[in-house]
Amino acid sequence: MKTSTSALGMAASLLVSTSRAAVCKPLVKDALVGSIHLEDLMACSQDLQDIAYSTELRNRVVGTDGHKKTVQYITETLQSLGDYYTLEYQEVRTPATISSTSNLSVNGAEVEANILEFSNNGTWTDVPVVVVAELGCVAENYPDLTGSVALIARGECTFALKGELAGQAGAVAALVYNNAAVGKTGGTLGGPNELITVGGISRADGLRLAEAISNGEAVVSSGSFGSFVTDTVSQNVIATSKYGDPDNVLFLGAHSDSVAAGPGINDNGSGSCGLLTVAKALSNWRTNNQVKFAWWAAEEEGLIGAETFVNVTAKEQLDKIRLYLNFDMIASPNYVLSIYDGDGSAFNVSGPAGSAEAEKLFEDYYTANNIPFTSSEFDGRSDYGPFLDAGIPCGGLDTGADGVKTEEEVAIFGGVANQWYDPNYHSAKDTVDNLAPEAYITTGKAIAHAVASYGRSWAGFPEREPVAVTPRDVHATVGHHGHSLPF
Ligand X SMILES: *[C@@H]1O[C@H](CO)[C@@H](O)[C@H](O)[C@H]1NC(C)=O
Residues serving a catalytic function are 299
Q: What is the DSSP string of 321-388?
A: EEEEEEE-----TT---EEE-TT-TTTS---STTHHHHHHHHHHHHHHTT---EEE---S-STTHHHH
In angstroms, how far is CA 427 from the centroid of its own chain?
14
Cβ 328 to ligand X shortest distance, Å: 2
Among the listed residues 340, 245, 357, the one whose alpha carbon sits nearest the alpha carbon of residue 291:
245
Cβ 380 to ligand X shortest distance, Å: 10
Residue nearest to ligand X according to CB distances in the complex: 328
Site membership for ligand X, residue 264 (CB under 6 A): yes
Asked whether the beta carbons of 402 and 182 are under 8 A apart, the reply is yes
Q: Whole-angstrom Cα distance, residue 395 to residue 393?
A: 7
Among the listed residues 278, 271, 273, the one whose alpha carbon sits nearest the alpha carbon of residue 74:
273
Which of 121, 179, 284, 374 forms a contact with ligand X (CB under 6 A)? 121
- SS3 state of residue 245: strand
Which of 52, 229, 273, 276 forms a contact with ligand X (CB under 6 A)? 229
Site membership for ligand X, residue 47 (CB under 6 A): no
Residue 33, number of CB atoms within 10 A of its CB: 20
Peptide bond into 288 cis (omega under 30): no
Site membership for ligand X, residue 271 (CB under 6 A): yes
Which of 117, 205, 300, 409 forms a contact with ligand X (CB under 6 A)? 300
Site membership for ligand X, residue 101 (CB under 6 A): yes
Cβ 299 to ligand X shortest distance, Å: 5
Beta strands 338-340 and 394-398: pairing type?
Answer: antiparallel
Cβ 339 to ligand X shortest distance, Å: 12
Which of 235, 382, 424, 442 forms a contact with ligand X (CB under 6 A)? 382
Site membership for ligand X, residue 456 (CB under 6 A): no
Segment interacting with ligand X (CB under 6 A) among 168-176, 233-241, 243-251, 298-306: 298-306
Question: How many residues bind ligand X, per CB under 6 A?
Answer: 30
Site membership for ligand X, residue 226 (CB under 6 A): yes
Considering the complex, state which of residue 224 and residue 284 has its C-beta at the smaller distance from ligand X.
Answer: 224
- SS3 state of residue 53: helix
| Residues near ligand X (CB under 6 A) | 101, 103, 120-121, 224, 226-229, 255, 258, 264, 267-268, 271, 299-300, 304, 307-308, 311, 328-329, 348, 381-382, 398, 401, 482-483
